Amino acid sequence: MKSKVRLMVLLLLTFFLLFLALIFKHNEAIEDVVVRQGVAQLDAIQKDQIYNVTGDWEFHWKELLEPDDFLMTALNPIYLKTPRSWVDTIKEHENNSIGYGTYRLQLVYPEDLMGEKQAFYLGYIGVAYKVWVDGVLLDEVGEVSSNKEGEIPLLKSNFIYFEPDQEQVEVIIQVSNHEFREGGIFGDVLTGSRTAITNYIVKNLAIDLLLIGGFLFIGIYHLVMFGVSKNDITFFYIGMIGLLAALRNMLLCEYLFYLLFPTVPWTLMTRVEYLCEVVGLFFLVSLMYKMYPKEVNKHVLNLAYAMIGILVLYYLFAPMYIYTSTLTVSMIPLGLILFYFIFVVGLKALAEGREGAKLNVFGIILLTFASINDILSYTQSLQTIPMLGYSTLFFLMLQGIIKSDRYTKLYEENRELTQTLVKSNATLESKVIERTEKLGQTNKRLEELNNSRAEMLAFIAHDLGSPIIAIKTQLSLMKEGYVAPNEQLYEQMIQKSDYMKRLVQDLFELSKLESKEYVMLKKNVNVKKFMEDVWKVFSHELNNQQFMLSFTNMVGAQYDSIYIEADQQRLMQVLSNFIFNAVKYSKNVNKVELRVMTKYKGSKGYVQVEVEDYGVGIEAENIPFVFNRFYREQPHQKDGTGLGLTIAKEIIHKHGGVVGVTSIKGKGSTFYFTLPMKEEK
């Protein structure tokens, strides 16, 4: 809300300044005095009125005449539309603006103005001239010459004071041009009382200073902001555009510029003026790309930079007359670049809802109307004042407003973040304690895993090393002749080799099961059919070992319709481990019981398969470690790899189930697994 209020205040202030500029520009009503055959009748003029002296001035082409020369009777003048470049009238002679000549004007004043102080305001006269009034040389701008070598060009507005002492006043102006695209008197020639002309000049200077000061302030402010926050290059771009615009407007206000810097050559000043436009365009292109990178085509960007570089070289090294004469042509690429980066990119940003795009489009509309206004004013199709400078200042101010609004939003976001952090700090201590405890638990778990890894490696080294050493020892004894080869030794070495093979196979299988990439070949399995297959396979094998495998169905009537999603071969592997462990550790009772049952937790059903033996049982303190790698209840037990139950646990976990054991020392153990139930599809 505050940012919107600030925005409205800035906009109103800008419009107020522009309104003041318009008032100052329009408060001087300038009327035309028509010159006919080199004579202007001023008998009806008013004292405080300013007049534009326009019409057919007497002109002498390729002649530099002084007042005494006009006493001769052999002169053959032509009459030239003034103010206007002489190239439009005498182009059939030279077809360019290069040349020299003399203007002559006779002003007829009423008697009541005799002795009153009068003044001339001379706009642009290209590019060197001398002015006589009633035979008196009043001013010389530059140095007039009939050739380029003798001419010193100096294009600037000027004013001269005189006091008519007779009704008819003769004004003679020598003009030469060997450097500029326009020749002759092509700027307004105003006359009036000294007070009126002085007021006119002061007010125009005030407007120019307002414009220059506005650009200068924007430039310095944004460069200071760039110095404070060096990470935001857009401040630098806006600052440089502001300074270059201020410099260019000061160069356009030649009278003010030469008051401050009277020794600067006009040719250098003109080159710098055009370079300000091109270099300023470079910073504007860079600014738009930085603000809206997604909307700018990279190929167009590189092309724009290349065209700007070419124009910089052209303005630096081309002869003065050449590049001032081709100014319109050289402005075409600048116009195309401006059109793309301001209009096209600006409208794309608006369509994409980019930040600040609405203000940019508002500035674009203002620039468009100002450009049309200035074109109509330049071609004299519309009596208006130039507005492009003011609209450019306004557009630049909008960029500053956009940046200010962005930083305001960032400030508000940072303030909200700070408030959130303050609230979070209130519970920070408890969170630190909680996370410290979690970190301690994690570290403990990592330590356990590291110890488990070390133990596993020790088991592997021991279980593989022992049979290898035994085989090597027996082979060495046979080689040295201490032991004769026999079937028993061969059988022992084969058994030890088989043990190592099984250990390696079990380790390989366990590593596969523990990897995330391993996939079970699951399908819908009918529990009844699966348990019948299990009993058929293992009851036959146990009979060969003088054991009996009994089977108990504890499911009930639903037995036929219960399914699980499982890999049958892997479940067979688990039950094989359970059943043959039961046989291995049975003591006096040669019987193993197999049971299947269902359990429910809420609406979720589970199938549990149990294998019970009547063997030695497991100590209560050892039960939690039964499914660990290389676990043996008796440390020196040699049969088995100690990985079978670990593999069984991993298989069941891959099925989304759990394994477990209950045992009483000396009475036997019950191993089981539980899997989620699934209805048949």
What does the pLDDT look like over 306-318, one tens digit per residue?
999 999 999 899 8
The per-residue pLDDT for 673 is 92
Per the domain annotation, does 650 fall within a domain? yes
Q: Do 473 and 368 fall into the same domain?
A: no
Indicate the pLDDT class of residue 639, thresholds 50, 70 and 90.
low
Residue 239 has pLDDT above 70, yes or no: yes
Asked whether residue 195 is domain-assigned, the answer is: yes
Q: Is the omega angle on the peptide bond into residue 127 within 30 degrees of 0, that is, cis?
A: yes
Confidence of residue 401 (pLDDT cuts 50, 70, 90): confident
Do the beta carbons of residue 332 and residue 339 sit within 8 Å?
A: no
Residue 8 pLDDT more than 70? no
In the chain, how many domains are there? 4
- Say if residue 636's pLDDT is above 50: no
**Is 173 within 8 Å of 125 (Cβ atoms)?**
yes
State the residue for tokens 């390729």.
62
Same domain, 186 and 169: yes
The candidate with the shortest Cα–Cα distance to 636, out of 466, 471, 499, 510, is 466
Instruction: Look at residue 635 and tell me whether its pLDDT is greater than 50.
Output: no
CATH of the domain at 16: 1.20.1070
Indicate whether 236 and 172 sit together in one domain: no
pLDDT score for 638: 45
**Residue 630 above 70 pLDDT?**
no
Contacts of 343 (CB under 8 A, 6+ apart): 364, 368
More reliable by pLDDT, 601 or 13:
601
Q: Is the per-residue pLDDT at 601 higher than 80? A: yes
**pTM, 2 dp:** 0.58
Residue 415 domain flag: no
664 plus 650 within the same structural domain: yes
pLDDT above 60 (res 563): yes
Last residue of a domain, one of 201, 216, 231: 201
Does 544 or 610 have the greater pLDDT score?
610
Does residue 625 carry a pLDDT above 80? no
Identify which has the larger pLDDT, 30 or 94: 30
In a domain, 212, yes or no: yes
Confidence of residue 1 (pLDDT cuts 50, 70, 90): very low
H, E, C per residue of 490-559: HHHHHHHHHHHHHHHHHHHHHHHHHCCCCCCCCEEEEHHHHHHHHHHHHHHHHHHCCCEEEEEECCCHHH
List the domain range (segments joined by +) for residue 558.
523-676
| CA distances to 172, 567, 582, 630 from 646, in Å | 117, 18, 16, 8
Q: In this structure, are 405 and 510 located in the same domain?
A: no
Overall average pLDDT of the 522-548 stretch: 85
Together in a domain, 65 and 13: no
Distance CA 327, CA 479 (A): 107
pLDDT of residue 142: 92
**502 vs 636, higher pLDDT:** 502
Residue 171: pLDDT above 90?
yes
Give me the mean pLDDT over the 414-425 stretch. Answer: 78
Average pLDDT over residues 111-130: 88
Q: Are residues 540 and 551 in contact, defined by beta-carbon separation less than 8 angstroms?
A: no
- Please provide the average confidence, as pLDDT, over all residues in the chain: 80
Indicate whether 554 and 406 sit together in one domain: no
pLDDT at 23 exceeding the cut of 70? no
Query: Residue 148: which CATH number?
Result: 2.60.120.260
Do 247 and 309 share a domain, yes or no?
yes
Which range scores top for mean pLDDT: 228-242, 471-485, 499-513?
228-242
Q: Is there a single domain that holds both residue 20 and residue 33?
A: no
Considering 143, 173, 201, which residue would you say is the last residue of a domain?
Answer: 201
568, two tokens: 């049958």
**Cβ atoms < 10 Å from Cβ of 249:** 24
Indicate whether 507 and 487 sit together in one domain.
Answer: yes
Q: How far apart are CA 522 and CA 217, in angstroms?
A: 77
What is the pLDDT, as a whole number, of residue 46? 79
Please tell me which residue, 644 or 311, carries the higher pLDDT value.
Answer: 311
pLDDT band at 618 (very low <50, low <70, confident <90, very high): confident
More confident residue, 280 or 368: 280
Q: Residue 469 has what pLDDT?
A: 59
Is residue 170 scored above 60 in pLDDT?
yes
Given a cut of 80, is residue 366 above it in pLDDT? no
pLDDT at 103: 96
Q: Is residue 76 part of a domain?
A: yes
Q: Rounded mean pLDDT of 608-617?
A: 89
Residues 542/548, Cβ–Cβ less than 8 Å: yes
- The answer to whether position 12 is within a domain reads yes
pLDDT tier at 146, thresholds 50, 70, 90: very high
Per-residue pLDDT tens digits for 52-72: 999 999 999 999 999 999 887
Residues 566 and 465 reside in one and the same domain: no
Summarize the confidence of residues 3-11 as an average pLDDT. Answer: 55
| Cα–Cα distance for residue pair 117/163, rounded to 1 Å | 5
Q: Using the predicted structure, report yes or no on whether residue 206 has a pLDDT greater than 90.
A: no
344 or 520, higher pLDDT:
344
Which CATH number goes with the domain that contains 669? Answer: 3.30.565.10
* Exposed/middle/buried for residue 568 (C-beta within 10 Å: 0-12, 13-18, 19+): middle
Residue 301 lies in a domain: yes
- Tokens 């002015």 sit on residue: 131
Percent of the chain with pLDDT over 90: 21
> Residue 559 CA to chain centroid, in angstroms?
66
| Pair (164, 20) in one structural domain | no
